[in-house]
Chain A
Amino acid sequence: MYDFLRFVPENLMDLGFKSYIFMLEKPGICGGVVVKAENPDDLRKKLRKVRKNIIVGVTGNEAVCREAVMRRKVDLILDSDNRQLDYATIKLAAEKDVAIELSLAKFIRNKGLSRMQLFERLCDEVRVIKKFDVPFVVTTAAENVYEMRTRRQVENFFSFFGCEIVKARQHATRLVRKYYDTRFIMDGFEIEAELEADVKKKG
């Protein structure tokens, strides 16, 4: 299970995650890039600058998300307070193999009525995700230290809303392995070993 953070904390606590992916605006040593866009045209422009071989996450409004799903470079649609996904976008995400992030931080940030609306939106999203078997990841998406939570908390929270946590874990590992594991090629296609080492074993 991996967690996607929006910042680099000074000292990492052990919260039960296997590892952390840092989604930053400027690509760092390890992790991914966040592309923030106002409108679809803006997104296209910014995506052109992003180099390959890195996890690309996109934040923005509904129109941006819809455009992002269709782009090949995009791997992840990041969660934000005002993110809205319509039915068609989520369905398309399943076809194009773009993961959808469900984050805990936005529930912590908001209060009262706006939080209630977020719950409602989450329920809708989860229903569609289940229906089409869309790749999704559950994360904290913390922007500072105070929003970081343990793995169990995150998983319990989302399983209450009906997410299949086992699947979320699979999707997260798959997403990371795609970029950082040379052994992994695609689903059901892995390199087990280079033969030179193996020949010695056989003798």
Chain B
Amino acid sequence: MRGRVQGVDVIARDWIGLMVEVVESPNEYEIGLKGEVVDETQNTLRIMTEKGLKIVVKKKRTFRVWYGDKIMRIKGDLISYRPEERIKKGLVMLKRAKGVRI
């Protein structure tokens, strides 16, 4: 039986400063991009990779995120809101999903 899961509220938190890796993408050259998120807009993440600053669209991609003591896999569609709006939207989204307790 599942109970409370810590760190689920990444979708409501700051992504700036987190380590992120692109796992799935329709653009195969994007897969494997890894680095720290520097900036964020409604539709894109700016990732500082080893090869420089890359701009990755959020929608239709899957990201692997290092947050706290967990590694998570999140679809970009879930976070494609403005960063300041995501606190509200993310929490509501988590509340609406069944079987989740934050």
Using Cβ atoms and an 8 Å threshold, which residues of chain B touch A178?
98-99
With A53-B2, A181-B2, A182-B5 given, is the CB distance from A189 to B99 under 8 Å?
Answer: no
With A97-B98, A179-B99, A180-B2 given, is the CB distance from A188 to B75 under 8 Å?
Answer: yes
- Picked from B1, B68, B77, the residue with its CB within 8 Å of the CB of A188 is B77
Q: Please, what's the 1-or-0 string for B63-79, where 1 marks a CB less than 8 Å from any CB in chain A?
A: 01010111111110110
Interface residue ranges of A122-143 to B (CB < 8 Å): none
CA distance A134 to B91 in the complex (A): 24
- Picked from B1, B62, B94, B97, the residue with its CB within 8 Å of the CB of A53 is B1
Band of interface residues on B: 20 to 34
Is the CB of B93 closer than 8 A to any CB of chain A? yes
B24 to chain A: closest CB distance in Å?
Answer: 10
Interface residue ranges of A170-197 to B (CB < 8 Å): 178-182, 185-196
Is the CB of A79 closer than 8 A to any CB of chain B? no
CA distance A159 to B57 in the complex (A): 38
Is the CB of B100 closer than 8 A to any CB of chain A? yes
A172 to chain B: closest CB distance in Å?
Answer: 15
Using Cβ atoms and an 8 Å threshold, which residues of chain A touch B72?
189-192
Using Cβ atoms and an 8 Å threshold, which residues of chain A touch B97?
185-187
Is the CB of B20 closer than 8 A to any CB of chain A? no
Q: Decide: B74 and A189 in contact? CB cutoff 8 A.
A: yes
Interface residue ranges of B27-65 to A (CB < 8 Å): 62, 64
Closest to B11 in A: A189
Q: Decide: B69 and A188 in contact? CB cutoff 8 A.
A: no
Is the CB of A200 closer than 8 A to any CB of chain B? no
Interface residue ranges of A80-121 to B (CB < 8 Å): 97
Q: Decide: B98 and A75 in contact? CB cutoff 8 A.
A: yes
Q: What are the nearest 4 A-B pairs in CB distance?
A: A188-B75, A186-B97, A178-B99, A192-B71
